[in-house]
Amino acid sequence: MARATINDVATSAGVSTATVSRLLNGLNVSSGTADRIWKAVAELDYTPNALTRGVFAGRSSTIGVIIRDLDSPYYLELMRGIEEAATAHDSLVMFANTFSRVDREWAHVQKMDEQRVRGLILTTGPDSDARARRMAAAGTPCVIVGRAADLSPNLHSISLDNIKAGQLIGGHLLACGRSSIAVITMGNREQGILRIRGLRSVLNEHDIELPDSAVRAVEAKEEVFTAIAELLADARANGSPIDAVVCMSDLLTRHIYEALHKLGRRVPDDVGLIAVGDFDWAETLGMTVIAQPTYEMGLEAATLIVTAPQEPVRIVQEPRLIVRRSCGEE
């Protein structure tokens, strides 16, 4: 049951380990010797030890990914993109999920560093930026996905143009004749803040205000129903009933949709609904959304790791409006 080593293969083929190593790495070996070695490899079921190779190279060929919380299909697409690029470059992907716990975040970055990953992709909040920056400085390329982080050597970022996303939303809503808008966002993340800023800018151009009271930052999905109920009630009390709800986080979309239904508001007849983040059922349900090229982001992130450009790179992706039915006609 003991695994065959390169030594066993060499002995069995009657050559030195160096020759075996050379053959395995595609260097020149006479065809006779090669045959004997391959035969030995097959007989002994020899599988080279990537760990040892990594020791020698100073790093492994694995790409590390740290996910904040594997709770959204967004990550499915991102990981597919990463995996695709990694496989193309003969890399594997190692991932860790923090379950949104910041303390785990740091530990996972550390672990990835110990594994001597070829590069690290982070979808986490800014808490572990410092650690990532150290890794980057020490020579491990890092890519921060989703936020436009402060760059430094070897530290790149790929993010959505969040301002633009907000503007797209504003433009569409206006075009659909909706101007009394409520916004639901998740926590106080940078992404949401920028999207709201973009939305406001468009609204303001048309002399429409988006008062702070019309924006709710919830901490959890469970708060959505109450938030929506209050938003609708307040606006009605003010004499300007809401005619569109904007969802700034894909985690919340379903809950907003559900809340609206429970509150007896028909979409889009009574109220429009638009969300950031496309998803499978959106098509079926006719939900208008702002899509971000998630798969491509994964692809680019992994490619950045592999190509390891000297200068830090900041990639900003264009959001795309997908008009379906949930805001009515333009």
Partner DNA sequence: TTGAAAGCGCTAACAG
Partner DNA sequence: CTGTTAGCGCTTTCAA
Q: Bridge-partner residues for 164, per DSSP?
A: none
Q: Bridge-partner residues for 317, per DSSP?
A: 160
CA–CA distance, 323 with 330 (Å, rounded to integer): 9
Q: Which one-letter amino acid corresponds to residue 36?
A: R
- Position 233 contacts its own copies (CB under 8 A): no
Contact 290, 136 (CB under 8 A): no
Can you tell me which of 49, 100, 226, 238 binds DNA, judged by CB under 7 A? 49
From the list DNA, its own copies, none, partner contacted by residue 18 (C-beta under 5 to 8 A by kind): DNA
| Residue indicated by tokens 């919380």 | 69
Could you give the C-alpha distances from 253 to 40, 213, 275, in angstroms and in order?
58, 20, 6
CA–CA distance, 167 with 274 (Å, rounded to integer): 13
From the list DNA, its own copies, none, partner contacted by residue 24 (C-beta under 5 to 8 A by kind): DNA
Q: Could you tell me if residue 187 is left (phi over 0), alpha (psi between -120 and 50 degrees) or otherwise beta? A: left
From the list DNA, its own copies, none, partner contacted by residue 112 (C-beta under 5 to 8 A by kind): its own copies
Rounded to a whole number of angstroms, the minimum distance from the CB of residue 232 to its own copies is 18
Can you tell me which of 1, 26, 45, 58 binds DNA, judged by CB under 7 A? 58
Site for its own copies in 97-116 (CB under 8 A): 97, 99, 104, 108, 110-116
Instruction: Tell the burial category of 186 from Cβ atoms under 10 Å away from its Cβ (0-12, 13-18, 19+).
Output: buried
From the list DNA, its own copies, none, partner contacted by residue 5 (C-beta under 5 to 8 A by kind): DNA
Identify which of 154, 160, 83 has the alpha carbon closest to the alpha carbon of residue 119: 154
From the list DNA, its own copies, none, partner contacted by residue 19 (C-beta under 5 to 8 A by kind): DNA
User: Which residues contact its own copies (rule: CB under 8 A)?
Assistant: 1, 3, 45, 47-52, 54-55, 58, 60, 62, 70-71, 73, 75-76, 79-80, 83-84, 87, 92-97, 99, 104, 108, 110-116, 134, 137-139, 254, 257-258, 261, 280-281, 283-284
What residues line the site for DNA (CB under 7 A)? Answer: 3, 5-7, 14-19, 21-22, 24-25, 27-30, 32-34, 48-49, 52-53, 55-58
